[in-house]
Amino acid sequence: MILSIILKTVLSFLKTHWVTILILAAAIGIGGYNFYKTTQLGKIVAQQQQSFDAQIRRLQVIDQQQIAQRDEAIHRYETTVATIESRYEQERHTLNDLERQEIEQIVKETMNNPEELAHRINQATGFTVIMPTN
């Protein structure tokens, strides 16, 4: 008997407030759906963040390798330039010594002939020698 009274009261309440109950049920359903989608979206965002972090780490490794290669290239360049400059200085001194010896030899050989001296110095060095006239 108490059960039938409770049942009548519940049915009477449902008949008068069915719209409110329907709206409440829809709101709970939509809220649950949104919660599920938000959770899924959070997982997707976390996966993307992990992927981006992995890409950034790979790019940093590549960047470090490129920096190391650049530094090595700069070192090779500087070493090569220093070697070339050193060889240039050695060759320049050697050439100057050779030219000096050749000119001394020409002067010894043509000491009494100024025209021949001027001509041979011109051939050896490319300088035009003008002898003073008396």
Q: Residues 65-113: pLDDT tens digits?
A: 999 999 998 998 898 888 888 887 877 776 677 777 887 888 788 777 7
In a domain, 5, yes or no: no
In a domain, 134, yes or no: no
Residue pointed to by tokens 């001296």? 117
Residue pointed to by tokens 């590549």? 62
CB 107 within 8 A of CB 117: yes
Count up the domains in the chain and report the number. 1
In a domain, 48, yes or no: yes
The model carries a pTM of 0.47
- Banded pLDDT at 133 (limits 50, 70, 90): low
In a domain, 11, yes or no: no
Q: What whole-number distance in Å separates Cα of residue 62 and Cα of residue 69?
A: 10
In a domain, 53, yes or no: yes
In a domain, 121, yes or no: yes
In a domain, 37, yes or no: yes
- Quick: pLDDT tens for 2-12: 888 888 898 88
Is the pLDDT at 134 greater than 60, yes or no?
A: no
Domain range enclosing 30: 16-125
Structure-token pair, residue 76: 């090779």
In a domain, 10, yes or no: no
Q: What whole-number distance in Å separates Cα of residue 111 and Cα of residue 66?
A: 65
Q: Up-side HSE of residue 77: CA atoms within 13 Å toward CB?
A: 6
Looking at residue 67, its pLDDT comes to: 96
